Structure 1
Amino acid sequence: MKTRTLRADERLPLYQRLREEIQARISSGEWKPDTPIPTEAELAREYGVAVGTVRKAVDTLVNDGLLQRNQGRGTFVRRPDFESSFLRFFRQTNAAGERTVPEGQVIERRIAVPPGYVSDALDLPPQAETIHLKRIRRIEGIPTLCEDIWLPYSRFQALAEIPLQSFGNLLYPFYEHECGQLIAAAKESLRVSCADRQTATALEITVGSPVVIIDRIAQGYDHTPLEYRRSRGGASTFHYQIDIS
């Protein structure tokens, strides 16, 4: 096996250079979510480093949530469960009272320069275009969330021509399949506001009704921001619970 060269800054510790190399191979799609990476011994031979160096690099990626060790099976590229975010915050139940994930429908798509706060969050240059999606999420036909989603056009241009009905209920696997863009992590912030006319119409509530707004910045495995999402839901469905021990 030909030994690979670590390309990261030589001033960095060896394990950190290896960490960035592993992360880059995940980000490129060479190692996909839910699949195992090579063993520590195999990576040590491939890069010509000690097994301890590999273990330290892998440990940092496990701690960051990019990798997951499965006892007896190996170390896998982790696919985060983003849907659990909304289940933490909203009482999303059907008529029988069962917790459920809402069905999503993209109702509008356009190519546009986003608001400044979105450009800043996505680290885009001025006037850079995005694909802007409007999406409604329903439970048994009742709208529970309305969403505005912005994606950098340079990375997601394949979505510009896809029929709206082809967008899946879960968007992140759809991004991966259609554009090769893998979402690895996200940061969310939450606030309470009042429904404007557009939000009230989408959620079938009264203008001025309280709504909860969740802003999400989703990142790739290399920490590149890939999506800005603003989700709004009626405050009457909002629920927050935390266990403290």
Structure 2
Amino acid sequence: MPRPAPAPAACGFAPISPDAAGAPLYRAVKRALLQAIESGRCPAGAALPSEAELAAAFGVSIGTLRHATDDLVAEHILVRRQGRGTFVAVHNADRFMFQFFHVERGDGLRQAPQVELVAYERVRMEEEPAQALGLRTGEPAIQIDNRLLLQGRAVIHDRLTLPALLFKGLTEKRFRERASTIYHLYQTEFGITVTRASERTRAVIADRQAVRMLGVAPGAAVMQVRRTALSFGDKPVEYRVSTINTAHHEYVQLLSRPA
């Protein structure tokens, strides 16, 4: 089992000054932690210094420090491990299934999909992904088509559009031979951490591509999910259109209300 990355010396943190606008002090601590993680000073998998060390580095109370880290744990930026400390969260299969994969069989069976790479192309950004990513139409992009199988059945067709400038050096070989999930690849090889995603869903009629990818009948109703993956500061880093055959599977979201 790989050992976690060592904790940086307080990740270079400095005392926090009270916000002139009177915002709670824990929010400034949270911003400082996010900046350290985003910059790579506290990389994915790194153990944070102890609460006492962090509180001393920031010049705040343990309670203020804990309020900030509680928020980041709830947002899946940090993870606590009993008896070991607090770590910068790493994208892995468990996190993918918990936070980003929402399709399960109608009887509630939930399993990780088998992913087949169908196509990998260098293209020019089309209008829809360009708008979602805050870019201009025609900018260089990487377009990836995956087919996802559940219980041996083709259920999902994913089309990913990535800004080529964000993913310099990404090749079909690197993508195909990734060690874990796609978001783990982004995080470990490109320093891009997907923190959350914005999704829109609608019912559409299966087109020729859905017929070919999923084996559905022409004109059948399928579900379409349009996802913009966001990194720190809600920066869009990936646009994904998922077409789902819901004949035997459902899209399931666990909702929670803020405390």
Q: 1:90 aligns with which of 104, 107, 113?
A: 104
Match for residue 4 of structure 1?
14
Whole-angstrom distance in 1 between the partners of 2:120 and 2:114: 18
* Equivalent residue number for residue 62 of structure 1: 73
Q: CA deviation at 1:236?
A: 0.1
Q: Is the 8 A contact 2:113 2:149 kept in 1?
A: yes
SS at match of 2:105: coil
**1:158 alignment counterpart:** 169
Deviations, residues 119-172 of structure 1 (Å, cap 9, x unaligned): 222222453322111111224654221110011211112214636642456211
**8 A Cα contact 2:44 2:187, kept in partner:** no
2:139 is paired with a residue whose SS is coil
Tell me, in whole angstroms, the C-alpha distance in 1 between the residues paired with 2:118 and 2:200. 25
Post-superposition CA distance 1:69-100 (Å, at most 9, x none): 4444322333462334676433189xxx9643
Does the Cα contact within 8 Å between 1:217 and 1:229 map onto a contact in 2?
yes
Structure 1 runs not aligned, ≥5 long:
none
- 1:12-69 residue CA offsets vs partner (Å, 9 max, x unmatched): 7443222111001112333344543222221122233443432332233234332234
Give 1:196-207 correspondences, 5 Å limit. Answer: 196-207=207-218
The offset of 1:202, in angstroms, is 1.0
In 2: Cα distance, 1:24 partner to 1:99 partner: 35
* 1:110 and 2:124 are equivalent in the alignment: no
Whether 1:211 aligns to 2:225 is no
Contact 1:27 1:222 in 2 (8 A): no
Q: TM-score, normalised by structure 1?
A: 0.80
Superposed CA RMSD in Å reads 3.4
**2:89 aligns with one of 70, 74, 78:** 78
How far apart are the structure 2 equivalents of 1:145 and 1:200?
11
TM-score when scaled to structure 2? Answer: 0.76
- Residues 1:86 and 1:32: Cα distance change in structure 2 (over 3 Å): closer
Residue 235 of structure 1 corresponds to 246
Deviation for aligned residue 1:208: 0.9
Aligned to 2:200, the other structure's residue is in SS state strand
Q: Is the 8 A contact 1:66 1:221 kept in 2?
A: no
Query: Which residue identity does 2:145 align to in structure 1?
Result: K
State the SS of the aligned residue for 2:14: coil
Superposition deviation, residue 196 in structure 1:
0.2
1:127 equivalent in alignment to 2:138: yes
> Match of 2:5?
none
CA distance in 1 between counterparts of 2:193 and 2:253 reads 29
Q: Partners in 1 of 2:102 and 2:17 — Cα distance?
A: 41
Contact 2:104–2:252 (8 Å) recurs in 1 = no
* Unpaired runs of at least 5, structure 2: 1-8
The structure-2 alpha-carbon separation of the partners of 1:98 and 1:58, relative to structure 1 and needing over 3 Å to count, comes to: closer
Question: Once the two structures are superposed, what CA deviation does each residue of 1:188-222 show, in whole Å capped at 9, x if it has no partner?
Answer: 23221111001111112221111111222212244
> Identity over the aligned pairs, expressed in percent?
28
- Further displaced range: 184-193 or 144-153: 184-193
Contact 1:79 1:184 in 2 (8 A): no
Cα distance in 1 for residues equivalent to 2:238 and 2:51 = 33
Bigger shift: 28-37 or 223-232?
28-37
Judge conservation of contact 2:116–2:146 (CA < 8 Å) in 1.
yes
* Aligned CA distance change for structure 1 residues 69 and 167 (closer, same or farther; 3 Å): closer
Q: In the aligned structure 2, how far is the partner of 1:113 from the partner of 1:36?
A: 40
Contact 1:158/1:178 (<8 A) preserved: no
